[in-house]
Structure 1
């Protein structure tokens, strides 16, 4: 596995990850989110991940292509038996377009990294029982390091 550049890591860490639940809440790298505890309890799990299919490997795609990838990811998660909540990730200032995704309930760390790699994502947000989101890297192309 390669490492994100410091600037790219900082952008992921500064991004606001919005979970569009009955009572919406936000996730931020390194900051505990107590709302996750209730979701964990409801689904009898102790982990979750936030994943998107938008803009593989950090390459901006056309809107229609991103929407189709998002729909495919949703179908794949459902077929795999995962419960998922809709999300939107948005950096507050860098101009990168908002990215819809899913908070996947009960997806373990290794599966989160595997799914992120399969959907060509540079990283995925993952939370354990402590409800503190952490950034897990997948494969970063040489040109992005």
Structure 2
């Protein structure tokens, strides 16, 4: 399925296993390939048919320091506000490996193409996108 990517297979596996935690008023955990009722309610409440879980931290999965990652996330948040997009804080956290959780945002109403563009702009290997079926999909960007 992901054989033509330049991303190492073990990195892709980690992305597939990660828990994409959404904070806010209706916290939930997104898992790739698993339909999520809370996400469906968020989509409905915000009158959107799609969303994307994206981080600006650790470009291309290279561990950055806390200050650098925080700065990148703030730049990302400013861009989302500038675009008048609705977003909710979250964190991507693998359930068992040593990788620190990555601050992230669930961006509501973001089309797949717009989500890919943002992920690429912030030097990410992948994003998690959900359409009307509210089943998160791993979308590789390289």
Q: What are the Cα deviations for residues 48-101 of structure 1, in whole angstroms up to 9, with x where unaligned?
A: 000000000111111101001011101101101110000011111110111011
Q: Is it true that 1:102 corresponds to 2:105 in the alignment?
A: yes
User: Which secondary structure does the structure 2 equivalent of 1:92 belong to?
Assistant: coil
TM-score normalised over the length of structure 1 = 0.92
> What RMSD, in angstroms, separates the aligned Cα atoms of the two structures?
1.2
Q: Aligned ranges for residues 70-109 of structure 1 at < 5 Å?
A: 70-109=73-112
1:16 aligns with one of 13, 19, 26: 19
Provide the C-alpha distance between the structure 2 equivalents of 1:44 and 1:65, rounded to a whole number of angstroms. Answer: 34
TM-score normalised over the length of structure 2 = 0.94
**How many aligned positions are there?**
139
Provide the C-alpha distance between the structure 2 equivalents of 1:64 and 1:4, rounded to a whole number of angstroms. Answer: 26
2:123 aligns with one of 120, 129, 137: 120
What corresponds to 1:142 in structure 2? none
Gaps of 5+ in 2: none
Gaps of 5+ in 1: 140-145
Provide the C-alpha distance between the structure 1 equivalents of 2:96 and 2:9, rounded to a whole number of angstroms. Answer: 17
Q: Aligned ranges for residues 122-137 of structure 1 at < 5 Å?
A: 122-137=125-140
What corresponds to 1:62 in structure 2? 65
